[in-house]
Amino acid sequence: MFWRIAAAIPGLECLGAVVRAPRELPVPALRSLDDGPRPDFVVTAVPWDVNAGVVREAVARGLPVLSETPPAPDADGMRALWSDVGDSGLVQVAEQYLMVPAHAARLAAVTEGVIGTPTQVQVSSTHMYHAISMIRGFLGVGFEPATVTATRTTAPLVDPLTRDGWTGDDEPKPATTTIGVLDFGEGRSGLYDFTDNQWHNQLRFRRLLVRATHGELRDDEVVRLLGPETIARTPLVRRQTGYDLDLDGFDTDHITLGDRVLFRNPYPGLRFNDEEIAIATLLGRMAAWVRGEGAPPYPLARGMQDHLLALAVEEAAGTDRAVVTSREPWAQE
């Protein structure tokens, strides 16, 4: 997906892929980071247990890195990686969920103060660090300690669709749901709710709720206080081209809240789906950052904090006790 999207975006080119064994690829196959022309940045797309080593190799060569999520598999691994590469300032994390069009529009509404100051975020959509990224992003919390509690329950659920496609199986199987509560203090909290295979199982809704001082956002609708004795409900509306007699081609145009444009597709005409738009945005921001033309897309410290809290949810669910996180070496104001 990375090289396919890079090929479609003006100003980006994938120079090659470092692979362990030569094979047919749409880009040159390289044996090491020292082969081929020197890139502006490297993307790691490798398993958890080897990612940190690849990041170290790139940083040792002075190469900026867009690291796979999570950057290391556990807290000790992240501390060791931060000790080795944190001061380099070369590492960003490929965390794209807040760049998905619907989430980007919701985040814009919250950031603009449409519902006041956010106090609680509930996410039932994706797992671990991705969900934590959304919770932290909508709340605007940083690296402060958090108290985490969590539980797991198992119940029967039909699983008709997986990463590999339709299963053809309509028999319920045991599915585990993990629910975690993260208390960041000062009235700010997050609710994590994930069921096995919720990414692909269309029998479970994806839900997002942002509660704030002057209203709340629920999926694609906002309720808020406009003035004395005036409460309004307003939908977030996506303009999607290509329906009915719209001959402009199938594409996302923009997302609005009333007369506010919250999101505008930065890659019109490419007919990207939402995930592709998010990854294209991430790659575009990474390219701008390494050229000195934009802000860092998702610094390593943020990605590490997301995974630290995700691990705390898993630990709390597994031990049935509260877990209190500490300020880590990567904590930044």
In this prediction, residues 271-280 reach a mean pLDDT of 96
Residues of the chain within CATH 3.30.360 domain(s) are 97-268
pLDDT at 232 > cutoff 90: yes
Question: Whole-model pTM?
Answer: 0.95
Q: How far apart are CA 110 and CA 196, in angstroms?
A: 29
Secondary structure (DSSP) of 83-143: HHHGGG--EEE---GGGSHHHHHHHHHHHTTTT-SEEEEEEESS-HHHHHHHHHHHHT--S
Cα 162-75-100 angle, rounded to 5 deg: 45
In single-letter form, the type of residue at position 201 comes to: N
The pLDDT value given to residue 333? 58
CA-wise closest residue to 324 among 312, 310, 332: 312
CATH of 97-268 given 3.30.360, 3.40.630, 3.40.30, 3.10.450: 3.30.360
pLDDT at 13 > cutoff 80: yes
Please report which confidence band the pLDDT of residue 130 belongs to, taking 50, 70 and 90 as the band edges: very high
pLDDT tens digits, one per residue of 203-222: 999 999 999 999 999 999 99
> 300-319 and 75-85 are packed helices; what angle lies between their axes, rounded to 10 degrees?
160
Strand, coil or helix: 167: coil
In this prediction, residues 166-176 reach a mean pLDDT of 96
In this prediction, residues 23-46 reach a mean pLDDT of 92
In this prediction, residues 175-198 reach a mean pLDDT of 97
The pLDDT value given to residue 23? 81
**CATH code assigned to 2-93:** 3.40.50.720
Residues of the chain within CATH 3.40.50.720 domain(s) are 2-93
Residue 149, phi then psi, degrees to nearest 5: -125, 155
pLDDT at 68 > cutoff 70: yes
pLDDT at 307 > cutoff 70: yes
Q: How far apart are CA 330 and CA 320, in angstroms?
A: 28
What percent of the chain shows pLDDT beyond 90? 92
Strand partners, 230: 227
Mode of pairing for the β-strands spanning 118-124 and 260-264? unpaired
pLDDT at 247 > cutoff 90: no
